[in-house]
Amino acid sequence: MDFLNVEEGNVRIKIPQFEKVSSKAPVFYNPAMELNRDLSVAALTAYQEIKDDNISICDAFGGSGIRGIRYSKEIEGVSMAVVNDLNPLAVELARENIAENSLANVKVCREDANLLLRKCRGKFDVVDIDPFGTPSPYVESAAASLRAGGMICVTATDTSALCGTYKKPCIRKYGAKPLRNEYCHETGIRILAGFLCRTFSKYKKYLDFQFSHSTEHYMRLYALVGKGAKNTDQSLENLGYIAHCSKCLNRQVFKGMTPRIPSMCPECGGVWDVGGPLWCGKIQNSDFLSSILEIVPNLNLNTENKALKLLERCYEESDSAPTFYDLHAICRKLRTSVPPMDLIMDSIKEGGYDVSRTHFNPNGVKTDAPLNFIEKIIIKVEK
């Protein structure tokens, strides 16, 4: 087998030469996930700082070992990182990569991730779930394994299900109906968040989301784990549904397990398309994001500029409500050209409403202003 050397952050690892990124590769490595790994290093550094103690990390789907190796080398106060993978070639290569980087606190394991997490209940502060496609078959083991005060990090690459291109797989894997519209990446990440919370709640555990992003072909969530029946019940009140009208672009959040959702849009009489159950609560924490924003320039990241831009957007939108308006979609409906974004945002602010951009979509605006107010502004600006 021919090998290739890869440098990311402060590590150098070898991976089998490849022409095309594929889950069929002898050992999986995806260069497009470097930003994901860079942000993970920064986020777990912020977590370690909050904990103010040594942390142990389980990289449950390790592949070449690059994540676990980077966590151990680039984050201070990592007492132990376990790199696990079911593929024997991956485990062998991870072992070599760990030795090449002279790391004594990284252990290698070849186990089904579910078995490992169950066996090591309570041992890890951080569990990182980065499988092929959906994380849904592994979340329950992470929920059983993680203690209060721990952190779960999850990647999902099955965005076609979460974002409603394929409805049935989303219902099968996440027990939720997706929406296919201009803000489907946000509803997708909220379906994943809702699924995580429902799974953790079986163990009287709840999640406090710190950082969430949807980038290219994947979604990534970071959440702190809390414990207790009362707090878990309270947290579940953030579950609900989003009803969307594709005729007039109106949308409404309906919180609760069985809210009364009318069948028609009150604005135009169109039929609501309803997505959920999903997480209607916060998916960003501005304090956590400002810590990561401070940490990123001190790390040695090839994706620094991209990472900072994404984090700034997430910070900006951290206190806004679910869903956003796509200005291009509104302008298509109004049959007008698209006015400058800043002008529209300033006018919304002058109207006394909150407004921010969103990392989900460069044409997206998050605001508590009603749709007809935004439309009036667009028409006025156009005139």
| Interaction of residue 130 with ligand SAM, rule CB under 6 A | yes
Q: Which pair of structure tokens corresponds to residue 216?
A: 């290219």
How many chain residues bind ligand SAM (CB under 6 A)? Answer: 20
Minimum separation from the CB atom of position 313 to ligand SAM (A): 23
| Interaction of residue 184 with ligand SAM, rule CB under 6 A | no
3 binds, among ligand SAM, Zn ion, none (CB under 5 to 8 A by kind): none
C-alpha 18/C-alpha 34 separation (Å) is: 16
Question: Which C-beta is closer to ligand SAM: that of 39 or that of 283?
Answer: 39
208 binds, among ligand SAM, Zn ion, none (CB under 5 to 8 A by kind): none
Minimum separation from the CB atom of position 56 to ligand SAM (A): 17
Of 41, 67, 129, 177, the one binding ligand SAM (CB under 6 A) is: 67
Residue 196 · residue 154 · CB < 8 Å: yes
Judging by beta carbons within 10 Å of its beta carbon (0-12, 13-18, 19+), is residue 313 exposed, middle or buried?
buried
Instruction: Give the up-direction half-sphere exposure of residue 342: CA atoms within 13 A in the CB hemisphere.
Output: 0
For residue 362, give Cα distances in angstroms to 256, 265, 312, 342, 365.
31, 27, 13, 12, 9
| Interaction of residue 60 with Zn ion, rule CB under 5 A | no
85 binds, among ligand SAM, Zn ion, none (CB under 5 to 8 A by kind): ligand SAM
Minimum separation from the CB atom of position 130 to ligand SAM (A): 4
C-alpha 374/C-alpha 324 separation (Å) is: 12
Of 49, 92, 267, 273, the one binding Zn ion (CB under 5 A) is: 267
Of 8, 9, 11, 29, the one binding ligand SAM (CB under 6 A) is: 29
Residue 268 · residue 250 · CB < 8 Å: yes
Stretch of 79-87, 268-276, 291-299, 305-313 contacting ligand SAM, by CB under 6 A: 79-87
For residue 55, give Cα distances in angstroms to 98, 115, 300.
19, 21, 21
Minimum separation from the CB atom of position 346 to ligand SAM (A): 41
| Interaction of residue 183 with ligand SAM, rule CB under 6 A | no
- Bridge partners for 218 per DSSP: 215
Judging by beta carbons within 10 Å of its beta carbon (0-12, 13-18, 19+), is residue 49 exposed, middle or buried?
middle
Q: Where are the alpha helices (DSSP H) in 179-303?
A: 184-201, 229-236, 286-295
C-alpha 278/C-alpha 90 separation (Å) is: 35
112 binds, among ligand SAM, Zn ion, none (CB under 5 to 8 A by kind): ligand SAM
63 binds, among Zn ion, ligand SAM, none (CB under 5 to 8 A by kind): ligand SAM
Residue 152 makes CB contacts below 8 A (sequence gap 6+) with: 126, 127, 129, 142, 146, 196, 207, 221, 222, 223, 225
| Interaction of residue 273 with Zn ion, rule CB under 5 A | no
| Interaction of residue 85 with ligand SAM, rule CB under 6 A | yes
Stretch of 59-67, 119-127, 208-216, 351-359 contacting ligand SAM, by CB under 6 A: 59-67
Of 9, 131, 188, 364, the one binding ligand SAM (CB under 6 A) is: 131
C-alpha 234/C-alpha 224 separation (Å) is: 16
C-alpha 257/C-alpha 186 separation (Å) is: 20
Tell me: cis bond preceding 277? Omega within 30 of 0 counts. Answer: yes
| Interaction of residue 37 with ligand SAM, rule CB under 6 A | yes
Minimum separation from the CB atom of position 21 to ligand SAM (A): 10
Question: Which C-beta is closer to ligand SAM: that of 137 or that of 297?
Answer: 137
| Interaction of residue 112 with ligand SAM, rule CB under 6 A | yes
Of 55, 90, 162, 221, the one binding ligand SAM (CB under 6 A) is: 90
C-alpha 97/C-alpha 38 separation (Å) is: 18
Residues contributing to the site for Zn ion (CB under 5 A)? 245, 247-248, 250, 265, 267-268, 270
Residues contributing to the site for ligand SAM (CB under 6 A)? 28-29, 33, 37, 61-64, 66-67, 84-87, 90, 112-113, 130-132
